[in-house]
């Protein structure tokens, strides 16, 4: 069993803890946080299903003052850990890295950290083998993770020469107020970082893109125009996407009108927090323009990176040396593909 510690019990950290606890070959040591929060209050009310460790004594005192049971300090948890999943705020992970090195612990960082924090910029399906035995890996962002799933899927089928993407990006996660109350769209300079990151993972594909921030919270929407190396029909593209266990195909006439419909469906399924690990592609959006294939993707930003993060554990710890075998184990334990 591989001993895993989650550092940062926020939006991503909660979901990572849940995901690791579902794996039959991993042991969750616990979760670490630095301050009292609604997430910690909920953890207590749920009966402390995970041991909680405090970053330092000051944090432990604050948590204790709020009646939160604390198992110990971060240093004590690191002594029992093989690999850390760092889900802290951007920039904090880079500082934490020195402590992980001190204890000889591997670490996986989320997409908000700079690329130089890690040895490998990682995606489970696209470059699993590059992560084997690596000490420090960094995940792609939520949008890039989902985008690569779709583009890599087509690339393996017919080869992809280039892609042009437009991202309609949710402005904040549900419950966040730091962006304020807005009624506007905001455009970023092109190309967006997701296109550049895609080329880092899949260097044989040329990519560019535009990003627009929208005042919504439940998911991003990406349009992709992909130029295949050989002609591929709409039906072939649909059939190829359907084979991928981290892609869910949806249709407008089924009631999937947009991001809110998908979020409601996940809640109706009984998914914790209304989460989906899969990206959704609307069959109705898959069209051709000459040789190019165009389609639209829904990205569930709070949960989409969880499967690839678990893949990263398998790679760094060399639990599986074959990427296909590794992702199939992750998928099975998370229940991905079982709905087909």
**Which residues does the annotation mark as catalytic?**
142
Q: What are phi and psi of 174, to 5 degrees?
A: -55, 135
- On whether 33 is known to bind a ligand per the annotation, the reply is yes
Other C-beta atoms closer than 10 Å to the C-beta of 183 total 5
Nearest C-alpha neighbor of 97 from the set 121, 115, 117, 72:
117
Please report, in angstroms and rounded to a whole number, the separation of the first and last CA atoms in the chain: 30
- Placement of tokens 């591989």 in the chain: 2
- Placement of tokens 């690839």 in the chain: 308
Alpha carbons 56 and 113: distance in angstroms, whole number: 22
- Outline where 213-322 has alpha helix (H): 234-242, 259-268, 306-316
Cβ–Cβ under 8 Å, residues 112 and 89? yes
Alpha carbons 290 and 232: distance in angstroms, whole number: 11
Distance (Å) of CA 303 to CA 26, 98, 117, 313: 19, 27, 22, 17
Distance (Å) of CA 151 to CA 139, 281, 293: 17, 12, 11
**Residues in binding site:** 33
Bind-site residues for NAD(+): 33
């Amino acid at each position: 069993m591989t001993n895993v510690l989650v550092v940062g019990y926020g939006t991503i950290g909660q979901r990572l803890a849940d995901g690791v606890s579902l794996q039959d070959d991993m042991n969750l040591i616990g979760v670490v946080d630095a301050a009292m929060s609604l997430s910690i209050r909920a953890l207590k009310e749920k009966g402390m299903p995970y041991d909680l460790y405090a970053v330092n004594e000051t944090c432990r005192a604050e948590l204790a003052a709020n009646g939160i049971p604390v198992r110990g300090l971060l240093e004590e948890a690191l002594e029992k850990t093989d690999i850390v999943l760092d889900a802290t705020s951007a920039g904090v992970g880079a500082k934490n890295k020195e402590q992980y090195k001190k204890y000889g612990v591997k670490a996986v960082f989320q997409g908000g950290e700079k690329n130089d924090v890690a040895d490998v910029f990682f995606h489970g399906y696209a470059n699993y083998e590059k992560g084997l035995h690596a000490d420090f890996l960094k995940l792609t962002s939520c949008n890039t993770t989902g985008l690569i799933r779709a583009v890599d899927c087509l690339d393996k089928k017919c080869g992809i020469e280039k892609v042009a993407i437009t991202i309609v990006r949710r402005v904040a996660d549900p419950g966040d107020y730091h962006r304020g109350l807005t009624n506007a769209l905001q455009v970023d300079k092109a190309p967006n970082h997701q296109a550049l990151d895609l080329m880092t993972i899949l260097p044989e594909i040329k990519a560019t893109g535009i990003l627009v921030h929208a005042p919504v919270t439940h998911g991003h929407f990406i349009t992709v125009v992909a130029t295949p190396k050989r002609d591929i029909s709409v039906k072939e593209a649909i059939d190829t996407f359907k084979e991928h266990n981290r892609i869910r195909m949806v249709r407008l006439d089924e009631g999937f009108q947009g991001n809110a419909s998908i979020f409601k469906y996940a809640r109706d399924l009984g998914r914790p927090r209304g989460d989906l690990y899969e990206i959704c592609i609307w069959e109705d959006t898959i069209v051709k323009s000459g040789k190019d294939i165009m389609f639209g993707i829904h990205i569930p930003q709070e949960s989409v990176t969880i499967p690839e993060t678990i893949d990263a554990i398998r790679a760094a710890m060399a639990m599986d040396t074959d990427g296909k075998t590794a992702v199939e184990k992750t998928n099975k334990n998370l229940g991905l593909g079982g709905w087909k």
